[in-house]
A and B are shown apart, each in its own frame.
Chain A
Amino acid sequence: MKILVALKQVPDTETKIKLSADGRSIDPTDVKWITSPYDEYALEEALRLKESKGAEVTVVSLGGDSVKDVLRNALALGADHAVLLKSDASDPLAIASALAAFAKDKGFDLIMAGNKGIGGDNASVGPMIAELLGIAQANVVVKLEIGEGTFRAEREIEGGTEMVEGSLPAVITAQKGLNEPRYASLKGIMGAKKKTIEELDGAAPAGVTSVLNMVMPPARPEGRKLMGDAAQQAADLFSALKDEAKIF
């Protein structure tokens, strides 16, 4: 079995976002960059399939030289091959097109990624790749079983989950709960230093969306503290919610 895992480099979730002077992007100064947490679940699932069924795992990421950190980390965790698609694309369809063009005709049975990158938060690259390759998809997956040319994926929906069955090849996007990602071993880290990261031209088509501007969220109105004992605080809260917020 051949598995492709798409990885995205994103700011750490504990990062405070500041805006760039161009007013259309975030200021990368002081940002700690990590592999998108949802992509880690995708990679872990691919590595577990490699261990249980035998698979060749290729990781791919789009961007500049800095995303090599993400690829190197994946090699340390156990990925077999790493590919950097050189590109500055930011539109989801352009990114999906570059990834689909890379994956096409390479015989991947599974293409995995996080259900969303944390950043753009469009949650669209996975299903777009599936469409561009004309293959099945299951998104926001919390449980995955692979059969002979088939898959069963439990995916999160409102108030529960649903079981999706389909044929391989397929795009599967991971949700928290799918597995518990491993940490890299020292041996893995040392071994990854010797592996090469293949660099290719990302060749993404022109984007069809662009960010016109970015702003910080509106400041929240000043709040206030409620005093007294618990019973008093409870009474004050509900009168405030009723009279000021007019909720109840």
Chain B
Amino acid sequence: MILVFCELKDGKLRKPSAEALSEGRRLADASGSKVGALFVGASTAGAADATKYGADVILTCEAAHLASYSSDAFATAIADAVKSKSATVLLGGATAMGKDALPRVAARLGAGYSGDVTGLSMVEGKLQALRPVYAGKAFATTSFSSEVQVATTRPNVFEAVEKPGAGVMESLPAPAGDFKAIVKEILAKGTGKPDLTEANVIVSGGRGMKNGENFAILEELADALGGVVGASRAAVDAGWGLSHGMQVGQTGKVVSPTLYIACGISGAIQHLAGMSGSKYIVAINKDPEAPIFKLASYGIVGDLFEVVPELTKAAKALGIGAHH
């Protein structure tokens, strides 16, 4: 069985989980295997959503003491499910939770692990993973020699395909509640906007923005496009009061949106590494020789303080954000 660790948010299947599940379905079809979707928590209402993306079996591990995420308790629940179902492949979205729990599960099972993969295949019954290394400066194909093979799928790369499975529900016993560590509080920014790693549209600013206040024009454009705002390392390190979480690049977030608009970013190697997986890149820069133009699908040589407001105006006139 191919087991997929799934996450719910507000009773709905998270998009990175739907993507991992769809990829699990595709691999199972290619190798004549079954797909199990695993949910862990105090309530797994909404788990039936997994049927839509091809789950043959929906496994729920439900207990009041699993209301908050605990790396050791969740790792136990997931590892126990792998063992009880004799699963050979374990997948999950490369989310904050997936990246925290699945390496721990892999270590418990003596299993190979590949994080943030962008491609998967089954070769002679074994998983092979394609993944960016050096933040996307190169791509490596990883093979596994362990019996169980574990991978997390990078959000926004695999397509969530609706392909109904049997969706037979089965509940699993929950692990005991003696945690070594547990989440006590979620300190959300509460913007309701997607994370950079999951965003479809990113408007990013660099040193050319001149100060932190000027990022307001990027916020306006991002809002008009239904996107979020990112920043280069130069901008984050400039002391403009930008949060580190906004940084895109090799020492920040590696992103793969449909549209990446780089404003006043020259294109340092470490920045290009973090955003070169974007489907379409728009670069706005005064310097026609800026390295960012080498990657740009559409280049605009000009003053971003003139161009960005025009883009916002044009986006609003077309009512583009409404489609997102």
Contacts and interface: CB of A to CB of B under 8 A. Distances in A.
A127 B71 contact: yes
Nearest to A237: B298
Interface stretch (A103-111, A190-198, A226-234): A226-234
Contact of B112 (A11, A159, A208): A208
A231 B111 CA distance: 56
A147 interface: no
Given A16-B269, A137-B104, A235 B307 contact: no
Interface string B93-107: 001110111011111
Interface string B241-255: 001110101111010
Contacts of A159: 188-189, 191, 193-195
A177 B233 CA distance: 12
Given A136-B180, A230-B306, A224 B299 contact: yes
A118 B135 contact: yes
Nearest to B180: A136
A188 B322 CA distance: 58
Given A208-B112, A233-B307, A248-B318, A225 B300 contact: yes
Contacts of B302: 230, 233
Contacts of B100: 127, 137, 139-140
A212 interface: yes
B215 interface: no
B181 A167 contact: yes
A210 B195 CA distance: 31
A184 interface: no
Interface string B162-188: 000000000000000001111111111
B185 A163 contact: yes
Contacts of A131: 75, 103-105, 107-108
A17 interface: yes
A80 interface: no
A165 interface: yes
Contacts of B280: 241, 245, 247
B160 interface: no
Given A131-B107, A208-B145, A223-B295, 18 more contacts: A123-B116, A128-B103, A131-B108, A136-B72, A152-B184, A156-B96, A158-B96, A160-B186, A160-B187, A164-B182, A165-B184, A209-B114, A225-B300, A226-B299, A230-B310, A233-B302, A235-B314, A237-B300
A37 B302 CA distance: 34
A186 interface: no
Contacts of A119: 133-134
11 contacts: A13-B273, A26-B138, A139-B100, A157-B96, A163-B185, A170-B180, A208-B111, A212-B128, A235-B314, A238-B318, A245-B297
Interface string A9-46: 00101111101000010100000000001100000000
A208 B138 contact: no
B182 A215 contact: no
B251 A38 contact: yes
A176 B252 contact: yes
Main secondary structure of the interface of A (DSSP, over half): mixed
A146 interface: no
Interface residues of A, number: 85
Given A15-B269, A166-B179, A224-B298, A93 B112 contact: yes
A215 B188 contact: no
Interface residues of B, number: 98
B187 A121 contact: no
B86 interface: no
Interface in A118-168: 118-128, 130-132, 135-140, 142, 152, 154-167
Nearest to A160: B188
A167 B180 contact: yes
A225 B72 CA distance: 52
Given A121-B133, A238-B320, A162 B245 contact: no
Given A211-B141, A223-B298, A233-B310, A160 B146 contact: no
Contacts of B138: 17, 19, 26, 214-217
Nearest to A242: B318
A127 B107 contact: yes
B259 interface: yes
B293 interface: yes
B96 A165 contact: no
